Chain A
């Protein structure tokens, strides 16, 4: 797709415009996904759909299969059963690059930022914009151009930083998370998968990141958030999927459920009391 390759850094797929099409349009869906590691069945018959403008919260206890599902959807792991589908038809992902080619990027829990590089250098790492004149031949980058685009992407998500030219190590935890999300949004034109975006953050910073999650979706991207931070993420989510023992224990709109429902589904409460609450 329009994803720039290593050697031909281009602008974001649609320059400065994160809204790409109507909300509600599916971006990628999983159908009957199964994955086993040796004798351990990590996922079984899991289906879910990510749609533009929607935040899907993926909850589950440790070992419930959240990470494996995410890895299947971003191309790190190939599922044993089932398949992934885009509006264009069934697809197979064999690497992160494959997923990125579909416009689906991942914000890892460790954020994958280089602390000594500036914000803009991080946002363009691997996709640097070169100067347009003869200096291009020497591999000279155009910081101004990159700074402008980074500024645009950040302000579109209402992220406020003192400057895009300061090192990432000078940022707070929430700001680092914001930079990672902005980078993902900048190079994505379909969906973003976020792994534990609030895990390392304090209360205030977590709230800010949740706002950011919401505004990312409102810009027309599909967002899937893995989290243990149930109350906060429930607030910004449209759909909730709870995994338990590798299968979908619950999949419902967030408006119809409470925090308690999520926890019950996570621990299998209704299994013990006969399926009724």
Chain B
């Protein structure tokens, strides 16, 4: 079971890196969403996949019995899912606004922050602060 999940993590990681390397902001955002799920799956499998029943503590005892699922990775993943969901929502809006303002989704042609310096003079306005 762990081998299967390990291969799955590998395939997902490779796909998300492929997506993130495309020259398109939307693909990049999708790649980031995928890579965060990959990380969650990695945590899940590293906690061990051998649990067979929920980790509920029986009455009168202090620890759940042998073979209980490990609850901690699941708690970590829940936290990570919530965080990555909100970051993903922010990133989508950011990508959309950037596309609207800069009229391109190709990161290579976004040169507002770092204008190309051609023949000693700077094209475009890069001065921050008051504007």
Partners in one complex: no
> What is the interface of chain B, defined by CB distance below 8 A to chain A?
none
Interface residues of A (CB under 8 A from B): none
